[in-house]
A and B are shown apart, each in its own frame.
Chain A
Amino acid sequence: MLTLSPFYQELLAALNQGLLMSLALIIPSALGGVLIGISAGALRVFGDRWVRLLGDGYAALFRGTPLVVQLFVLYFGLPNVGVYLSPYAAAVTGFMLCSGAYQSEYVRGALLSIKRGQYFGAQALGFTPWQTVRCIIVPQAVRRAIHGCGNEIVYLIKYSSLAYVVTCMELTGEGKTIATEYFRFTEVFAIIGLYYLALVSLAIFFLKKIEQRLYIPGFGHQ
């Protein structure tokens, strides 16, 4: 039976623990990001002038500034105004808001791509505006947005590694500690890379399943 050297035993134990933290960061951030993205995207398309302006401002702010800066402000900046976030809470909040801003752009694009005729068709049958959006526009937009939204989740998985800058010890943070301790950067970061590759592959697998599930003739290929 293969026994691992103490270095690898310690490394894998640390990385597995980090992996759990990474998952705890990624899953709520991805779900929250999608939810914020759909809401903000819809408001940016269907809202009145002020709501649209607010949504556009949100997206401009979070797409326009580096994520690291956002995390620093949330973790190191907010205590100045009396708001104290734990490293985990700061990281998840930052990821959700950042991911939501990007998602809102995919959702907005998908909603805007639905032709005027679809609204006309529904209205002419007596649908209310809300029914039109909910039953006709959103189901079509979801199918157009899904590829972009999936892509954003793949990004999120990788930028979750930034959580360690606010001392939330996830995969990258745990690995870096070991790497510094043993001064063996190549092996450690190569293995961390493999962990992320596995996470992303898993995400792609599930996203593909969802795409297949939602497939309808006329919306992409099977």
Chain B
Amino acid sequence: MITDTTPILRVDNISKCFGETCILKGVSLSLRKGEIKVLIGPSGGGKSTLLQCINCLVRPDAGEIHLGEERIDLASKADLCRLRQQVGMIFQDFNLFDHLSAQDNITIALRKVKKLGKREAAERARLELEQVGLGDKAELYPAQLSGGQKQRVAIARALAMDPKALLLDEPTSALDPELIGEVIAVIRALAAKGMTMIMATHQISLISTLADEILFMENGVIVEQGSPAQLLTSGNPSKSQGFCDRLNDLADGGC
């Protein structure tokens, strides 16, 4: 039986090497319902690869993935499709389908993967677009949307699949500073509704206010983990605090 304490997603000892370079060296984490974990750490530390391994866009070399009680067979295409349907992914560069309007970006997945009817899919797409404040942009193509709007469509698209958890890979990193706010607002609204998330981000406001737990990744391993209260107090010698201090310095010195 799944209770609130059973993890809805668990990865054990994931490792991944590209040739000689090992990006992930045995990473484990588990995610309970409604929990938000934030991945931070230097670039090249393995955050993106970890997220991509969790829904097998990049196949891990070793390790196990459990969805609820079920162990995912990484060699089975059917298992992978089922895993991916239940674990949504938001990318740094949106990855909207360029040949489809905002609405069709959402309906195509509902129709092809969830096998919904045309009308049902369109209604759901409208609803999701309204949720992210883009009800009036349904007919526009990705080339006609701003970065922030594209990312909101991408979030709407992922949510329409009713995922159990959402993986966000630096969702605001490719955006102009003035567009970040709208995406952050959507992510906050998701958190308020109890969405389960793992998010890699350099956005300091998201790290400190949203995270239930911070995971600091470096050289392919999680070197530090704990709640913001434990890790992020000023003067704390933790790596996480040092990292956030540097982000703050950059933000202050940047303008």
CB distance from B43 to the nearest CB of A (A): 18
B112 adjacent to A127 (CB under 8 Å): yes
Is there a chain A Cβ closer than 8 Å to B93's Cβ?
yes
Residues of A within 8 A of B98 (CB): 118, 140, 216, 218-219
With a cutoff of 8 Å between Cβ atoms, the chain A residues found around residue B6 in the complex are none
Asked if A120 and B109 sit within 8 Å, CB to CB, the answer is no
Please measure, in the bound complex, the distance between the C-alpha atom of A49 and the C-alpha atom of B163, giving whole angstroms. 36
Instruction: Identify whether the interface residues of A are mostly helix, strand, loop, or mixed.
Output: helix
CB pair A117 B55 closer than 8 Å: no
* Cβ contacts B129-154/A at 8 Å (1 or 0 each): 00000000000111110000000001
Please indicate the chain B residues that have their CB under 8 angstroms from the CB of A45 in the complex.
none
Query: How far does the alpha carbon of A85 sit from the alpha carbon of B159 in the complex, in Å?
Result: 59
A204 to chain B, nearest CB (A): 24
State the CA gap A219–B96 with chains docked (Å). Answer: 14
| B99 contact from A123, A125, A129, A143, Cβ within 8 A | A143
CA distance in complex: A127, B97 (Å): 13
Of the four ranges (under 10, 10 to 19, 20 to 34, 35 or more), the interface on chain A belongs to 20 to 34
B216 at the interface (CB under 8 A from A): no
Residue of A nearest to B143 (CB): A218
Q: Answer yes or no: A9 CB below 8 A from chain B CBs.
A: no
Return B53 CB to nearest CB of chain A, in Å.
12
The reply to whether B91 and A120 contact each other, CB–CB distance below 8 Å, is yes
B97 and A118 contacting across the interface, CB-CB below 8 Å: yes
Which of A23-31, A131-139, A151-159, A183-191 forms contacts with chain B? A131-139
CB atoms of B95 and A121 under 8 A apart? yes
B84 and chain A: residue at smallest CB distance: A126
Residues of B near A121 (CB, < 8 A) are: 91, 95-97, 154
A164-185: CB near B (< 8 Å → 1, else 0) gives 0000000000000000000000
Given A218-B141, A219-B99, the answer on whether A117 and B93 have CB atoms closer than 8 Å is yes
B254 to chain A, nearest CB (A): 28
Q: A135-B108, A140-B99, A219-B98 given as contacts; is B88 within 8 A of A124 (CB)?
A: yes
**B161 at interface by CB-CB < 8 Å:** yes
| Chain A residues positioned under 8 Å from B109 (CB to CB) | 125-127
CB neighbors of A among B42-101 (8 A): 52, 55, 57, 77, 81-82, 84-85, 88-89, 91, 93-99
A67 adjacent to chain B (CB < 8 Å): no
Interface residues of A in 136-150 (CB under 8 A from B): 136, 139-140, 143
Q: Is the CB of A124 within 8 A of B57?
A: yes
> Complex: how many Å from CA A118 to CA B154?
12
A217 engages B112 (CB within 8 Å): no
B185 interfacial by beta-carbon distance below 8 Å: no
Residues of A within 8 A of B143 (CB): 217-218
Q: CB distance A120 to B57 under 8 Å?
A: yes
Q: Which residues of A contact B55 (CB under 8 A)?
A: 124
Contacts of A122 in B (CB 8 A): 97
- How many angstroms between the C-alpha atoms of A136 and B98 in the bound complex? 9
- Is B113 in contact with chain A by the CB < 8 A criterion? yes
Q: A120-B57, A216-B141, A217-B144 are in contact. Are A126 and B99 (CB under 8 A)?
A: no
Listed by A's residue number, 26 A-B pairs whose Cβ atoms lie within 8 Å are A117-B93, A117-B95, A118-B98, A120-B52, A120-B57, A120-B95, A121-B95, A123-B84, A124-B84, A124-B88, A125-B84, A125-B88, A125-B157, A126-B82, A126-B84, A127-B113, A143-B99, A216-B98, A216-B141, A217-B140, A217-B144, A218-B98, A218-B141, A218-B143, A218-B144, A219-B99
The 9 closest A-B pairs by CB, nearest first: A218-B143, A121-B95, A126-B85, A124-B89, A117-B95, A125-B109, A217-B141, A126-B113, A126-B84
The residues of A with any CB-CB pair to B shorter than 8 Å are 117-118, 120-129, 131, 135-136, 139-140, 143, 216-219
